[in-house]
Structure 1
């Protein structure tokens, strides 16, 4: 019974972590625009982005922790920390490990932003654009329900959600924060 609960919590927390990472990435893209979201002042977008990001980390720790304790998953610390050495589906599990390693780097630099400086923070934060698709690939390739219709639809919706923000950011309508603060137009 305990293994069934661990397995269910491990699976569901992985899905929730993916959703939160998607929202976090989307909010990060939107926050760079310097424009508020409807109903939220500009500074609130950044605050919500940080809180959603930390919540994603919590669910990711729950995902990994429960799968480490689950006798069915048979995950080891090596699987979690060193990519592509897993016994079961080493490539897909390795992608999850790479995503975790990148997320650790992004999280540490975000927490130490004031000590490391803005340049280091921004340089490492760009890893989010690598980490997120790697996490999506891990979800589809290694997740128990990864190829289930509902999961493919959910992953597809996450991809569309982020792509829409990226296309918007690359569009002529995107306003960089500094220009928005000065009231300049593009």
Structure 2
């Protein structure tokens, strides 16, 4: 049974990385208001939200499975308080930091209407910190973190994220006009 938990913990972690990569890239595309090939513009945000939810499910499976695995020895405190773990505490702590950031992002997403757009956006920017922290956790703490196939996978994900972030920060990135109008109206209303 322990080998099954260990294998499922590894697999769910790798799937989480892939899904969070897709989520970050889709979030940037959503902000731009551009459609994806074969998909209307409005559905990009729905795909972003659904992939995000799926990423969180696999992250919870990753953490939950490792809590049940006798080899990983991940305790409830290790899940929320960084750098206290007994196995590679620094690398495990990075995973805990990434997990805590995901929790904050999910909670503010759920409370978006109550906390307001400004607070939601502020916390949502932490996605750009969560992703590389999670990748470092996977490389440093993962069983296959330094194997060729995983480094190639992580490198491919990094190229996708870097390209999306460079595009997001470039002068060519123009937010969808509806997004700009809402943001401008919001700023005018808060002055």
Q: TM-score, normalised by structure 1?
A: 0.94
Is 2:162 the partner of 1:130?
no
In structure 2, the CA distance between the partners of 1:35 and 1:106, relative to structure 1 (3 Å rule), is same
The Cα offsets for residues 18-75 of structure 1, whole Å up to 9 and x where unpaired, read as: 1000000000011111111111112111110110001000000000111100111111
Other structure's SS at 1:30 match? helix
**Stretch of structure 1 that moved more, 9-18 or 106-115:** 106-115
Q: In structure 2, how many angstroms separate the alpha carbons of the residues matched to 1:180 and 1:60? A: 30
Contact persistence 1:34–1:181 (CA under 8 A): no
Using the TM superposition, give the Cα deviation of residue 172 of structure 1 relative to its aligned residue in structure 2, in angstroms.
2.9
Contact persistence 2:26–2:44 (CA under 8 A): yes
Contact persistence 2:72–2:87 (CA under 8 A): no
Give the match for residue 92 of structure 1: 91
Is 2:53 the partner of 1:34?
no
Residue pairs, 1:94-173, within 5 angstroms: 94-173=93-172
Using the TM superposition, give the Cα deviation of residue 170 of structure 1 relative to its aligned residue in structure 2, in angstroms.
2.2
* Superposition CA RMSD, Å: 1.4
Q: In structure 2, how many angstroms separate the alpha carbons of the residues matched to 1:38 and 1:74? A: 44
- Stretches of structure 2 that go unaligned for 5 or more consecutive residues are 182-191
Give the match for residue 3 of structure 1: 2
Using the TM superposition, give the Cα deviation of residue 79 of structure 1 relative to its aligned residue in structure 2, in angstroms.
1.0
Contact persistence 1:84–1:91 (CA under 8 A): yes
In structure 2, the CA distance between the partners of 1:180 and 1:128, relative to structure 1 (3 Å rule), is closer
Contact persistence 2:23–2:52 (CA under 8 A): yes
Q: In structure 1, how many angstroms separate the alpha carbons of the residues matched to 2:166 and 2:56? A: 26
Give the match for residue 185 of structure 2: none
Aligned length: 181
Segments of 4+ in structure 1 off by > 6 A? 179-182
**Stretch of structure 1 that moved more, 86-95 or 34-43:** 34-43
Give the match for residue 75 of structure 1: 74
